[in-house]
Amino acid sequence: MRKRVAIILLLLATTWSLGAVDFRAVGPSQVPVNQSFQIQYIVDEKCDNIQPPSMAGFELLAGPYTSTASSFSFVNGKRTSTYQKTFTYTYMATKEGTYTIGAATIEIKGHKYRSNGLKISVIREQEQAPQMSTQRQSDERSERQGRQERAESRQRQQSPSIFMRTEVSKTHAHEQEPITLKYKLYFVGVNDVQLAGVTKMPDFDGFLKQESDLEQLESRVETYNGRQYNVATVYKNQLYPQHSGDITITPAHFEVVYTSPGSERDPFGQMFGYQEHKTLKAPAVTIHVDALPQENKPKTFSGGVGHYTMTPSISATEVNANEPITLKLDISGSGNMKLIKTPEVKWPEGFEAYDPKVSNSYQTTDSGMAGTKSIEYMAIPREPGDYTLPPVSMTYYDSESGSYKTLTTPSYSLHINRGQQRKDTEVSDYSQEEIKQLATDVRYIHTNDLSALEPGSATPAAIQVGTFGWWLCYIIPLLIAVIVLIAMRQYIQANSDINQVRYRKANKVAQKRLRNAKKLLDENQTNAFYEEVERAAMSYLSDRLTIPTADLNKETITQLLEQKNVPATLIEETKEVLSTAEFARYAPSTNQDMNALYSKTVELINQLEEQKL
């Protein structure tokens, strides 16, 4: 008996939980023929898998359009919330009569729910208002026509469309002025869009390229030519023109996979979808580059183009002789910061100067590299006296004003006091904190007479002239010298050809990079992992094929591997690994994908090693 009661209570609880979801259909009870109207399905749970009923006698114009609404409230410390999702369909009645619309179904957390049905009467236009005035009828027709046009506009808005665009921050620039290049994917009316790879990428001849990392492929809504699209940036980099004139960036080709919704329905009212694979072309773009003005060009021009400021600081203006002085310059701003030359500091005579230390702290933005370049100069005065450190100047080209601008530090008056007597020392391992002095390299020399053998004492037999041991003292060093000479000649000959050295060490270098990639994989450093895998594959192919890495591309690799009679399947695997490693960091990835790519790369290098390229 207790068991039966428990089962009944369980069934009642299940029934109550299933009935807790509110799923209903809302629509008009009467519509005129050949006029558009809407039916809404409203549910108070998060879901996506709705199946509308089959509606004979009605034509689907657009939909479903989804909208959500939620609210939260706190009353007497108690939190309550509501959620509602609406699916809207636009239909047009094509034939008069009375129609019973079946229930729509939806699946939530493994359970299916059904909405209520609808009963719709389709009548003639004149039946709706037989005694309308002519003006009112005209207004009604205009309103119906407007609704129909809006429905058609929404339908056109949802018609499938997908293409690539090439976007540059500017098409007219000066030499060395940063230009941001983006390849953007536009799509609407398609689902599950994924970037499958790249077929061809421009060589960017005439530009210095600085790639920018994209953490993941994210889309946003953007209006283009009066139509709203989902837009995702799939590739981005910074370009620095190296010469004047018109420089054309050739088209890029990307491969995408997406699902396109069909227009047919299955017997249950479900819309069919079709997965498609397509190659999209990002059009070419031409950049007009102006040369930097040569007239009145300052001699202190550092190569910088952009907008910068310079902040100087000096460690001290009064020190003792043989104590270091540090001058620091902080160059901040945005532009081609990597190409700025280090300004020259002219230390006074009698100062021992050291190579400057440069540290960079900047990031890539749409206006170029932005941040700070810090330069530290160090010198040690050797003689006391009063000295003047002349100003340090840096000239850059301001792209905003179109003119050269010079940044200058003040001059510094230095007073050097007489310090302790100078010893012959050498400065080593320079850092900001300290100067280490090596001990003197002259040691005491033993000046006493060497002890001699006592008169009449015999020379040890092992070193007597003419003995076997005596001859060995001459022969063994001679043999060692000959062996070392032969080994050195063989070593020099074997390492004289750099390409052969790289060829022999290709697998060793690749395995080292793969071990580093495995470490990055374990630490879940996604971007660094993909970069290391790509470097491992590219450096191995560069060394084995004896071709510089800068000249490697898919076409060149394919051609050289075919010349070496590498199987076509192995060539395809090589191209697949390179494409995946190059573009995986721009799209969302999982740990499983990273493990699969690592295994493929290890297997690929092992197979290429067996081919004895």
Which pLDDT belongs to residue 363? 78
314-346 pLDDT, tens per residue?
999 999 998 999 999 999 988 888 778 889 999
Checking if the pLDDT of 76 tops 80, the result is: no
- Please state which of the four CATH numbers 1.20.1530.20, 1.10.10.10, 2.60.40.10, 1.10.760.10 is assigned to the domain occupying 20-157: 2.60.40.10
Alpha-carbon gap, residue 30 to 550, rounded angstroms: 71
- CB-facing half-sphere around the CA of 395: CA atoms within 13 A: 10
Alpha-carbon gap, residue 59 to 449, rounded angstroms: 120
Inter-axis angle of helices 554-563 and 568-583, nearest 10: 160
Q: Strand, helix or coil at 464?
A: coil
Which pLDDT belongs to residue 159? 66
Helix (H) or strand (E) holding 42: strand 36-43
Checking if the pLDDT of 356 tops 80, the result is: yes
Same fold, 20-157 and 498-610: no
- Owner of token pair 């690994």: 577
Highest mean pLDDT among 100-109, 143-152, 409-418, 585-594 belongs to 409-418
Checking if the pLDDT of 460 tops 80, the result is: no
Which pLDDT belongs to residue 380? 92
- Please state which of the four CATH numbers 2.120.10, 2.60.40, 3.30.1370, 1.10.3470 is assigned to the domain occupying 161-290: 2.60.40
Structure tokens that stand for 368 in this block? 């170029």
Alpha-carbon gap, residue 301 to 393, rounded angstroms: 9
Four-residue CA torsion sign, 338, 340, 341, 346:
negative
Alpha-carbon gap, residue 34 to 126, rounded angstroms: 12
Domain boundaries defined on the chain: 20-157, 161-290, 301-437, 498-610
Considering the segment(s) 498-610 as one domain, its CATH architecture is: Up-down Bundle (1.20)
State the DSSP code for 410.
P
pLDDT-derived band at 132 (thresholds 50, 70, 90) equals very low
Structure tokens that stand for 311 in this block? 């902040």
| Among the listed residues 413, 263, 451, 236, the one whose alpha carbon sits nearest the alpha carbon of residue 325 | 413
Task: From residue 443, give the alpha-carbon distance in Å to each of 420, 423, 437, 446.
Answer: 22, 14, 16, 10
End-to-end CA distance of the chain: 81
- Please state which of the four CATH numbers 2.70.150, 3.30.1490, 3.40.50, 2.60.40 is assigned to the domain occupying 301-437: 2.60.40
Which pLDDT belongs to residue 14? 45
